[in-house]
Amino acid sequence: MEKGWFKNYPEGSPREIDTSEYHSILDMFDKAVREHPDRPAYINMGKVLTFRKLEERSRAFAAYLQNELKLTRGERVALMMPNLLQYPIALFGVLRAGLVVVNVNPLYTPRELEHQLQDSGAKAIVVVSNFASTVEQVVFNTDVKHVILTRMGDQLSFGKRTLVNFIVKYVKKLVPKYKLPHAVTFREVLSVGKHRQFVRPDLARDALAFLQYTGGTTGIAKGAMLSHGNIITNVFQAKWIAESFIGDRRRERIAIIPLPLYHVFALSVNALLFVELGITAVLITNPRDVDGMVKELRKYPFTAITGVNTLFNALLNNENFKEVDFSSLKLSVGGGMAVQQSVAQRWHDLTGNNIIEGYGMTECSPLIAASTILTDKHDGSIGVPVPNTDIRIMRDDGDEAELGEPGELWVKGEQVMQGYWQRPEATAEVLKDGWMATGDIVVMDKNYIMRIVDRKKDMILVSGFNVYPNEIEDVVMLNPKVLEVVAIGVPHEVSGETIKIFVVKKDESLTRDELRAHCRNLLTGYKVPKEIEFRDELPKTNVGKILRRVLRDEELAKRNAQ
């Protein structure tokens, strides 16, 4: 396809950027520590962790993994934590030991966690005590030999640590009982590790850094293999967007980080790009506590904030948010899901700042395109490809689409994953001669700006998280009172989409409440169907395949008519 999107780049901005400065994420980390050792790298619950302290503690963590646990290069370590100071310490500790990070959503049910640990072959897991009971239920059935246990306040000062841990466990009762007798504490790991020798591995760009799990084109969670080179490339691509907004890296700048760092968007931008740029990241542990988050926002003259549509909307609907000082805010980034035009407009009216949208997918580390350089107004487009990224828009007949003609977006660039972990057939379905078939149907207009118009795959996007109908359907079918089920995504004004299931009963006594309770036991909260419709039969092809798209089209037509 003709690369006419060049003209939409900022004046003087190169189509190709040099990403060769670092051989590995370790090189990037080392440079950040050298350049500003005493600058705060992370702040959480008022506690400051400087780049120097981050280096010391992640080195101790790495040394413990190397010497005490005897983990060898390439082995996997799972991280199961919300946004706490322990996360970046463990993250960089694992990478600096030459190991591979497996990010785990801490809200996973035992069923979801067991699959991810089994599939990745993780040898160790770092988990906050709030979710230790989930680990206890499945760890015996996995390759995990080492459990490192931390408590919510473990990286805070002594007085605050004691208070936070007491409140979390005994007042708020957020720590279910668990029994992990062979677990070692996070604090002990750092205490022992600082006296052990750390051996810095020599890592090439193709060395594996992350197994980042996604549903891919089916509901089976698969680990996207992201190398050090994939991530470094994407950090530079994101930096191309961010630098013009946030200015000189020699100045101290603060970013608010409410998105969980285990999510690929926050991982690449908030955990890694901001380290490269020397930005101080204020970690929000529980962004659902909007009042608490707004209190944090009022403490800092922040330069940047990242979020998803649901978070921006929740902030705008909070009365105290209007009292926040936005005079330093230069960069607001929305990712994970489309930002609604009404939310973008309200954000601009209140803060004076436009929300920049990034488009991407886990398999591309994740950034593919951005709308940053197109217009001052939010227009719902996904913009243009970031530097070092080629695209094709492919019709069903295998030819490339013309301008204005819809087709599946294919992507090629150094940020594209190596493949799915131990799944060559699934890899072959989406990677074709180096091109990644995204499954998103786009149109490129006469101004060379792309817009998503449909999805080739049936993924549902709930508040920035991928949900795959196959997984929902598999879980619902475990209920013996269900004969048939199909899941679709339906529009939702807050979360973008929500899940609706159509069910044919096997037993007439089945109720919606009973089915929701069944789903809650086996699925993370955002995957639980919000709407349930019982039907006598489901539409099918003449060979018996359920027509999910027919139900989706019926539902959209019904809602549009309302």
**CA–CA gap between residue 187 and residue 193 (Å, rounded):** 10
Cβ-proximal residues to 419 (8 Å cutoff; 6+ apart), any chain? 225, 427, 431
Tokens of 250: 């020699």
Cβ(413)–Cβ(201) below 8 Å: no
Tokens of 54: 């981050």
Q: What is the DSSP letter of 113?
A: H
Do residues 430 and 530 share a domain? Answer: no
What integer pLDDT is reported at residue 452 of this predicted model? 85
Do residues 479 and 435 share a domain? Answer: no
Do residues 53 and 175 share a domain? Answer: yes
Q: Give a yes or no: residue 414 inside a domain.
A: yes
Do residues 130 and 169 share a domain? Answer: yes
What integer pLDDT is reported at residue 4 of this predicted model? 58
Cβ-count burial 156-185 (b if 16+ within 10 Å, e if not): beeeebeebbeebeeeeeebeebeeeebbe
Residue 525: give the domain boundaries. 460-561
**CA–CA gap between residue 137 and residue 154 (Å, rounded):** 24
Q: What residue type is 438 in one-letter code?
A: T
* Phi, psi dihedrals of residue 281, rounded to the nearest 5°: -100, 120
Tokens of 487: 């899941």
Nearest by Cα to 418 from 269, 549, 225, 268: 225
For residue 514, the Cα-to-chain-centroid distance in whole angstroms is: 31
* Per-residue pLDDT tens over the stretch 312-335: 989 999 999 999 999 999 999 988
Strand partners, 491: 497
At residue 329's C-alpha, the angle toward residues 326 and 335, to 5°, is 115
Please give the model's pTM, rounded to 2 decimal places: 0.87
Do residues 171 and 184 share a domain? Answer: yes
What integer pLDDT is reported at residue 10 of this predicted model? 59
| Residues of the chain below pLDDT 50 | 1-2, 216-217, 373-375
Please give the tally of structural domains in the chain. 3
Q: What is the DSSP letter of 241?
A: H
What integer pLDDT is reported at residue 93 of this predicted model? 98
Angle between helices 469-476 and 512-522 (to 10 degrees): 110
Do residues 57 and 197 share a domain? Answer: yes
Do residues 438 and 515 share a domain? Answer: no
Label residue 530 exposed, middle or buried (CB < 10 Å: 0-12, 13-18, 19+).
middle
Q: Give a yes or no: residue 308 inside a domain.
A: no
Do residues 430 and 403 share a domain? Answer: yes
Q: Give a yes or no: residue 296 inside a domain.
A: no
- Which domain CATH number covers 487? 3.30.300.30
Q: Give a yes or no: residue 448 inside a domain.
A: yes
